Structure 1
Amino acid sequence: MAQLGNIENLIAARELLTSSLEKSKHLASAIDKTGRKLEEINQRLPSLEAAIKTLASKCSLSEIGRHIDPTVGPAAAVLNVFDAVHMLEESLSADPCSNLFRYLSIVKQLEEALKFLTDNCGLVIRWLEDAVRFLEGNAVVDDDRYLLNLNKCLRILEELRVTEEHSLLSGGCLCAAYGKLESEFRRILMENSFPLPMASSSVSVGEQACIASLPFPVPVIQKLQAIIEKLTTSNRLEKCISMYVEVRSLNARATLQALDLDYREISLSEFDSVQSVEGYIDQWCKHLEFAVKHVFELEYKLCENVFEKVGSDVWMGCFAKVTVQSGLHDFIKFGNTITKGKKDAIKLLKLLDIFAALNKLRLDFNRLFGGKACVEIQTRTRDLIKKVVNGASEIFWELSVQVELQRQSAPPSDGSVPRLLSFVTDYCNLLLHDNYRPILAQVLEIHRSWDHAKFEEELLSHEVHDIIKAIELNLETWAKTYEDTTLSYLFLMNNHWYLYKNLKGTKLGDLMGDSWLQGHEQYMEYYATLYLRESWGKLPAMLSEEGLILFPGGRAIDHDLVKKRLEVFMDAFDGMYKKQCSWAVSDKSLRGKACQLVVQIIVPAYQKFLQTYMPWVQQEASPSRNTKYSAERLKNMVCSLFQPKLGMYGSNTCTNMMGNINNAAINQLSSTPAAA
């Protein structure tokens, strides 16, 4: 080469080379052999330098040249490698998708060739610089061909030494190749990422069988792993992770969006009580289970498969990012919002539902999010559990106090069963049911353990027992507030029967005991007797036959007295009926029994009175004036009594209570809002 510009000749020569893979392999072998040759020359350098110094004073220039020529040879070999680099660059102009593994092989060869240039150019430059200094120091003037050749080689080698560095810059051959590999990585991900298919929307998420979507096929995994391995050695792993997280988190979000999760964004100011969002809480429990067991489980396996060769710390960190960006924190945020709501009885049940959902997924959470990379998820989840446990425990231990606070309220004006009583008994039955009792016991045990106190199952039973005792005392207090004593008897009859009938054979009834239940049955009969005696029981005496017959053994009748007694009876009946037609007996069987007892008390006496004195009364000019009602009409009127007002009464069973329980019942057993 006459000058540095002759490098263009090398580029032209490059075009004569073929781009086949076989020749590339031969080239790689040649590079390896040349490297060994350069290493041998490097080992000979100390003796060569010593020889040059000795020959400087003794030998002719031609003799020195024989020692320098072997150094120029390796420089020419380096230039040959540069030719190979250009050939490899041309091979990389194709798209990696056509043959990814061949493309990766060429990239590897290019990296090795460029590294060879970088490493060996420096070595050859040092040799040639020593030779140049020697020649220049001896002022050789009669033959300068060696010096000219050496200087030209040095200039070329200086350019070649930075080839690898330039290739990694923007626009460089390696930089472009890595960019294509990153694009191929994204393409493969996008091509194989799709939302999980759902079962019919008519089936609840918790019950539907999500079509199992296996991780990517093995060939796809192998391609992704190969790209990751290559880009990892090129310090571009973070770019792979960033693309992976972006694609897979968007895919996971697309799956979850099909569940309509907008409720997770609800704020504390957007609902009055937990009851108004209890449907959302039920959905949250099912959706969280689906997200963890299907969506996040899949992402966990996929991260492990794709990034397994670069270490668990990497793929666990990648999985943590995918999970967070997919919306796990939105689930936790919704749970936190619920814990801040007003403390009421329904909230306790919903907090237990939330705890049950989290506890059901405890093993899954520990397995999926147990690594160091998921510390933030662990912290937020523990914080939610702590709030749920504290909130549920506080509400439970305050229930009996809240029942006592309702003692100052007024009882039902119609003497029926207060909604608070039906609510509290159904509520306690729920707490004692197998669906809630184990969860509540676990929550209370955890809460007491935080205070270093021991929890025993009896504590739960004792607290429920105290709640029922509190509501019993409420009933006694409310009964005393009625101005009409008869109505207070009806009220107590209603409620003692309710406690006996509705709790018999239930968890709460078993807790309170048979003697307690039988006591309420006896109290019902006792107050029923008092009610009848103090109300309808007084009417038959008004139809007494005493004094109606004027003469002993005679047939003469005191007509005025007969009419008077009928009038008094009718007035008393009308007054009693008018007053009690607004009273209610909630239980249908008790209502029928009460009506029948009233009929038995007054109808036979009224019918007998009419049968005895009706013939005489019918002789009057206006008989209807004294026989306002027939015996049958009287019976029908009595049987129409005590009907609950439409929409006010009904069965508050456990199922109904947890569905659309009246707001008034909830408000009767509520506390002050919890601190936000």
Structure 2
Amino acid sequence: MYTILVTHTMAESGEEKLLAVARHIAKTLGHNDSMADDILQIFSNFDGRFSREKLSDKVSDDDPRSCAALEHSLKSLGSQISQYVAAEHPIWADSADSTAFLDAIDELLATVRDWNRMAGDKSVSACLVRADDFLQQAMFRLEEEFRSLMERGGEAFEGSRGFGNGESTGNYPFDSEEDEDDDEGGGGGGIVGNGEDHHIPVAHPVSDYDIVIDALPSGTINDLHEIAKRMVAAGFGKECSHVYSSCRREFLEESLSRLGLQKLSIEEVQKMAWSDLEDEIERWIKAANVALRILFPSERRLCDRVFFGFSSAADLSFMEVCRGSTTQLLNFADAVAIGSRSPERLFKILDIFETLRDLMPEFEAVFSDKYCMFLRNEAVTIWKRLGEAIRGIFMELENLIRRDPAKAPVPGGGLHPITRYVMNYLRAACRSRETLEQVFEEGIVSAKDYRQGEDRSSSTSLSVQMAWVMELLESNLEAKSKIYRDPALCSVFMMNNGRYVVQKVKDSELGSLLGDDWIRKHTAKVRQYLGNYQRSSWNKVQGVLKLDNSLLAPNLAARTAREKLRSFNMQFEETLKVQSTWVIFDEQLREELRIYVAGNLLPAYRNFLERFQSVAEVGRHIKYSVEEIKGRINELFRGGGSAGGRK
């Protein structure tokens, strides 16, 4: 081609025209200045008219001959490019067409690059404007072809996606079998269906997340890379990234939708009924794991392959692809974090907190570039906000305990609902002890100063928090115990609730958090309440049987003994009647209390009877034997009223 052009030019325009074309040939064929110089040297050796001096002469800026070769090249390239730009069928439907189109674009880019150094020449500048117009037309068509390839490639793989809503089967909706039909190795980690003639979506449980989705065939990925390479070289990298990201963004959004995750605003999340929100949180946890462990890494891999060699374009495209889906996931978690801090929400918020915490390495790995930094930072911010919400929930629990009113007393001095609620709540919370310790190490308790002067250097923030809640509960119960008019019943109430608290602490993680000293201290308190009960109730009955000096005088012994015996019988029966509805819920404590009462009362009663049993006037007034007294005591604390009187 160049030989014919040289011959024709020599005949037509003479030596100056020949020299201009020689310069152009050297620039076109030479990939750099050194190669161009070598070509010029070859021309010089071939013909004396191509001396280095003549070839190196600069043509004046207003010489129209300087752009003759450029005009000729542009005319030829413009014809080729226009032919493909105007084509009604997809260019990439035929590999020969796509190759020729890319070759023409490459030549146009090289021509523009070579002549840009002479852009100061008005005639060259005018040619370059035409070249830029051709280039834009080519880029617009490349953009269409790029979009078409992505859409057609996605449709080809549509049947191989194993997505589903995840609700009917309860499984993560992916199939991790390998695509055996992909001979080029592009689908080694792909998601495929089964069947010979068509793909059938299959949902399998995900036991691990070490799989990759190839949503486009390997050949399509190669074609996309070739287009991207030209668009980036022509300065249309952002346009290419935009087309790429818009297509892949739709794929991710559809993937999350098929996982059952709804697009909800923060306001919609906060207005949801708690039962509905619990279900949505379960779906969110599954979607977040699949997105961060499978979908996003697969998108990163695909993006790097399409934009191989252009890291900035790859990073920008990946950010645009994942931004919407990531924001959707994070906004949901944020809406939960800034919502109600009702204590019942603790456990689901802990689930979200733990999910984000466990996914932080994935956030760090997949969003490692500068464009994605804001997504990584936002994930950390919302994770910390969830920690604040958890601490806030414990503050609300404290307020709930403080505000629980001391209204009507619990019948029979039994277990108060607030005791049962708080202890079961704390036991359940301690199943996430490791997470709660991480949350409370933020230093929430340091500002509380809940025990002035007490050395807690060996305690964790969580253990201090739990001890504080326990102290609030104890104070609340003491206030409630004062409602009872009978001091003995007040002690029964504190015994019941104190024993329940100690038992719940001993057989759970609370025991190791609060420590053995705490358990011993509060066990001793229960014994103290037992002693208070004995003193305020049975000591009065037992005091009637006290043998004083009046019983030593024979003339007074019989009369005094009869009076004491009648008084004992009356007080004993009255005590039984009053306490017949009282209850000790813990069987072991109930038995301990009966033994304690009998151990103090029966010896005194037995001594009294032994001393006056021989006195006839006294014997007639003995209503209960020692065994009957013991039997009546053993009927106490069942709350059924059977111990109220003699059967």
TM-score by length of 2: 0.60
1:471-530 deviation line (CA, Å, top 9, x unaligned): 333333332332122210111211232233222254433454434423433433443354
Answer whether contact 1:228 1:240 (CA < 8 A) is retained: yes
Query: Counterpart of 2:320 in structure 1: which amino acid?
Result: K
Q: Work out the CA distance in 2 between the residues paired with 1:639 and 1:178.
A: 89
Deviation at 1:99, TM superposition (A): 3.3
- 1:215-614 to 2 correspondences below 5 Å: 215=214, 216-233=216-233, 237-262=237-262, 264-265=264-265, 267=268, 269-270=270-271, 277=277, 280-281=280-281, 283-309=283-309, 311-325=310-324, 327-346=325-344, 351-393=349-391, 403-404=401-402, 406=404, 412-428=410-426, 430-431=429-430, 434-444=433-443, 458=459, 460=461, 461-504=463-506, 506-531=508-533, 572=574, 575-576=577-578, 580-581=580-581, 583-591=582-590
- 1:197-208 to 2 correspondences below 5 Å: 197=163, 201-203=169-171, 208=207
Deviation at 1:77, TM superposition (A): 8.4
Q: Is 1:103 aligned to residue 97 of structure 2?
A: yes
1:224-274 deviation line (CA, Å, top 9, x unaligned): 2123224444555445433332332222222222332238546365258x7
- 1:659-670 to 2 correspondences below 5 Å: none
Deviation at 1:78, TM superposition (A): 7.9
Matched residue, 2:152: 187
For residues 364 and 161 of structure 1, do their structure 2 counterparts lie closer, same or farther at Cα, with a shift above 3 Å needed?
closer
1:294-352 deviation line (CA, Å, top 9, x unaligned): 1212112211121223x222121111121123x22122222222232344445566555
Structure index of larger Rg? 1
Q: Work out the CA distance in 2 between the residues paired with 1:360 and 1:336.
A: 17
Residue 641 (structure 1) aligned to one of 638, 642, 647:
638
Q: Work out the CA distance in 2 between the residues paired with 1:178 and 1:321.
A: 17
Query: Counterpart of 1:435 in structure 2: which amino acid?
Result: E
Answer whether contact 2:249 2:322 (CA < 8 A) is retained: yes
Query: Counterpart of 2:378 in structure 1: which amino acid?
Result: R
Q: Work out the CA distance in 1 between the residues paired with 2:70 and 2:399.
A: 96
- 1:614-653 to 2 correspondences below 5 Å: 638=635, 641-642=638-639
For residues 507 and 40 of structure 1, do their structure 2 counterparts lie closer, same or farther at Cα, with a shift above 3 Å needed?
farther
Q: Work out the CA distance in 2 between the residues paired with 1:33 and 1:456.
A: 94
Q: Work out the CA distance in 2 between the residues paired with 1:471 and 1:435.
A: 24
Between 205-214 and 514-523, report the one with greater CA deviation. 205-214
Q: Work out the CA distance in 2 between the residues paired with 1:228 and 1:294.
A: 25
For residues 321 and 406 of structure 1, do their structure 2 counterparts lie closer, same or farther at Cα, with a shift above 3 Å needed?
same
Query: Counterpart of 2:334 in structure 1: which amino acid?
Result: N
- 1:12-91 to 2 correspondences below 5 Å: 30=1, 34=5, 44-45=15-16, 85=80
1:387-439 deviation line (CA, Å, top 9, x unaligned): 33444445557866765555867663442233333444455554596433442
1:197-242 deviation line (CA, Å, top 9, x unaligned): 4788335799744683443454332122123224444555445433
Matched residue, 1:548: none
Between 490-499 and 172-181, report the one with greater CA deviation. 172-181
Answer whether contact 1:431 1:440 (CA < 8 A) is retained: no
Query: Counterpart of 1:184 in structure 2: which amino acid?
Result: L
For residues 588 and 190 of structure 1, do their structure 2 counterparts lie closer, same or farther at Cα, with a shift above 3 Å needed?
farther
1:106-133 deviation line (CA, Å, top 9, x unaligned): 113544788999999xxxxxxxx9xxxx
5+ residue gaps, structure 1, are 1-29, 50-69, 121-128, 130-157, 449-454, 545-551, 553-559, 610-625, 645-676
Query: Counterpart of 1:270 in structure 2: which amino acid?
Result: K
Answer whether contact 2:229 2:307 (CA < 8 A) is retained: no
Q: Work out the CA distance in 1 between the residues paired with 2:415 and 2:505.
A: 14
Answer whether contact 2:81 2:104 (CA < 8 A) is retained: no
For residues 468 and 379 of structure 1, do their structure 2 counterparts lie closer, same or farther at Cα, with a shift above 3 Å needed?
same
Q: Work out the CA distance in 2 between the residues paired with 1:510 and 1:78.
A: 85
Query: Counterpart of 1:255 in structure 2: which amino acid?
Result: S
TM-score by length of 1: 0.58
Q: Secondary structure at the match of 1:417?
A: coil
Matched residue, 2:34: none
Answer whether contact 1:264 1:331 (CA < 8 A) is retained: no
Query: Counterpart of 2:256 in structure 1: which amino acid?
Result: L
Answer whether contact 1:185 1:227 (CA < 8 A) is retained: no
Query: Counterpart of 1:641 in structure 2: which amino acid?
Result: R
For residues 540 and 530 of structure 1, do their structure 2 counterparts lie closer, same or farther at Cα, with a shift above 3 Å needed?
same
Q: Work out the CA distance in 2 between the residues paired with 1:436 and 1:643.
A: 45
1:554-612 deviation line (CA, Å, top 9, x unaligned): xxxxxx99xx99996997478436xx43x443334434655787899999999xx9xxx
Query: Counterpart of 1:476 in structure 2: which amino acid?
Result: E
Query: Counterpart of 1:362 in structure 2: which amino acid?
Result: M
Q: Work out the CA distance in 2 between the residues paired with 1:84 and 1:204.
A: 54
Answer whether contact 2:492 2:533 (CA < 8 A) is retained: yes
For residues 165 and 378 of structure 1, do their structure 2 counterparts lie closer, same or farther at Cα, with a shift above 3 Å needed?
closer
Query: Counterpart of 1:387 in structure 2: which amino acid?
Result: R
Answer whether contact 2:213 2:295 (CA < 8 A) is retained: no
Identity rate, percent: 18
Q: Work out the CA distance in 1 between the residues paired with 2:254 and 2:221.
A: 22
For residues 530 and 299 of structure 1, do their structure 2 counterparts lie closer, same or farther at Cα, with a shift above 3 Å needed?
same
Query: Counterpart of 1:412 in structure 2: which amino acid?
Result: V
Q: Secondary structure at the match of 2:302?
A: helix
Between 202-211 and 294-303, report the one with greater CA deviation. 202-211
For residues 637 and 397 of structure 1, do their structure 2 counterparts lie closer, same or farther at Cα, with a shift above 3 Å needed?
closer
Answer whether contact 1:352 1:440 (CA < 8 A) is retained: no
Answer whether contact 2:598 2:633 (CA < 8 A) is retained: no
5+ residue gaps, structure 2, are 21-64, 115-122, 174-204, 448-455, 547-553, 555-561, 610-622, 642-647
Matched residue, 1:617: none
